[in-house]
């Protein structure tokens, strides 16, 4: 299973980081985890076959996590030659279908009828969805918005956990237990901590409590400046830690 970080930033634009988006290649599944602004151009830059996605999973409805989904569907219909014909499954929390219906009212019927088979699957905390082959997607509630979910991708005995946006959560740590790679948001420095996001120390503590094999930090606000969040997270977690940048690639289980 391969992970590519397409967007390691937030709603605050910087030249180095675009908004949340992560590509998981777990044959036969090609999964896009979140679809914030910049997803398509970053995918093109890093040689990711974005038009071949089999599934898109959205963690919650803040714009920096799903704001480019409409553009993504638009590009699949008019931005490739020949236009897409393969089915696509959109996965998200409760309320996803309603929000896409509202988008269709604003943008046009093509949002729900893009010219290829489109399935919308709403998932609840604790639910597991079979994607294809032996690949499973699991969901866990996180303390961020009312609908926010973390996702785990499980295949071939490997498990990748993506927190999405979250505050500290003992439940999330238990659910992520033993994961091979923990892809954790790390929005703010410790001195600017708020309850709805993780900091380096909190992300390190989550990895420690979950017994994760490796911790990859993502979703950085520019306030970090030149500081090294991975170095701070090491005060809580003694495993491998990487502070991701756009374009970083990881092999899960390596």
28 with 10: CB under 8 angstroms? no
What is the average pLDDT score of the chain?
A: 97
75 with 52: CB under 8 angstroms? no
> pLDDT at position 225, please?
83
Nearest to 43 by CA among 4, 9, 14, 1: 4
Nearest to 235 by CA among 199, 194, 205, 196: 205
How does pLDDT run across 115-166, given as a tens digit for each residue?
999 999 999 999 999 999 999 999 999 999 999 999 999 999 999 999 999 9
If pLDDT is split at 50, 70 and 90, which confidence band does 12 have? very high
Question: What distances in angstroms separate CA 35 from CA 23, 67, 69, 156, 157, one per listed residue?
Answer: 10, 7, 6, 26, 27
Per-residue pLDDT for 254 more than 80?
A: no
How does pLDDT run across 60-102, given as a tens digit for each residue?
999 999 999 999 999 999 999 999 999 999 999 999 999 999 9
Is the preceding omega at residue 82 within 30 degrees of 0, hence cis?
Answer: yes
59 with 65: CB under 8 angstroms? yes
How does pLDDT run across 190-231, given as a tens digit for each residue?
999 899 999 999 999 999 999 999 999 999 999 998 889 999
Walk me through the domains of the chain, giving residue ranges and CATH numbers: 2-249 (3.60.15.10)
First to last CA, the chain: 9
Question: Which residue spans within the chain are E strands per DSSP?
Answer: 2-7, 21-26, 29-33, 55-57, 88-92, 118-122, 128-132, 135-141, 149-155, 158-162, 181-185, 214-218, 240-243, 249-251
> pLDDT at position 253, please?
85
> pLDDT at position 227, please?
87
Nearest to 73 by CA among 40, 99, 49: 40
How many residues would you count in the chain?
254
If pLDDT is split at 50, 70 and 90, which confidence band does 179 have? very high
Rounded to 10 degrees, the C-alpha dihedral 57/137/208/216 comes to -40
Neighbouring residues of 106: CB distance < 8 A, sequence distance ≥ 6: none
């Amino acid at each position: 299973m391969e992970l590519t970080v397409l967007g390691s930033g937030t709603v605050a634009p910087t030249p180095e980081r675009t908004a949340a988006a992560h590509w998981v290649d777990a044959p036969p599944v090609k999964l896009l985890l979140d679809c914030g602004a910049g997803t398509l151009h970053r995918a093109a830059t890093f040689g990711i076959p974005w038009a071949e996605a089999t599934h898109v999973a959205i963690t919650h409805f803040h714009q920096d996590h799903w704001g480019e989904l409409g553009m993504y569907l638009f590009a699949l219909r008019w931005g490739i030659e020949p236009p897409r014909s393969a089915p696509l499954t959109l996965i998200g929390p409760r309320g996803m279908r309603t929000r896409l219906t509202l988008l269709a009212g604003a943008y046009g019927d093509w949002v729900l009828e893009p010219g290829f088979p489109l399935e919308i699957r709403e998932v609840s905390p604790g639910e597991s969805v079979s994607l294809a082959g032996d690949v499973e997607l699991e969901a866990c509630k996180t303390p961020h918005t009312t609908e926010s979910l973390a996702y785990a991708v499980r295949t071939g005995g490997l498990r990748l956990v993506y927190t999405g946006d979250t505050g500290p959560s003992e439940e999330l740590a238990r659910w992520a237990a033993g994961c091979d790679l923990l892809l954790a948001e790390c929005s703010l420095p410790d001195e600017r901590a708020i309850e709805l996001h993780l900091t380096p120390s909190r992300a390190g503590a989550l990895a420690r409590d979950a017994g994760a094999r490796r911790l990859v930090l993502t979703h950085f606000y520019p306030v970090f400046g030149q500081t090294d969040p991975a170095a701070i997270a090491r005060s809580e977690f003694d495993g491998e830690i990487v502070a991701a940048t756009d374009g970083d690639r990881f092999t899960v289980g390596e």
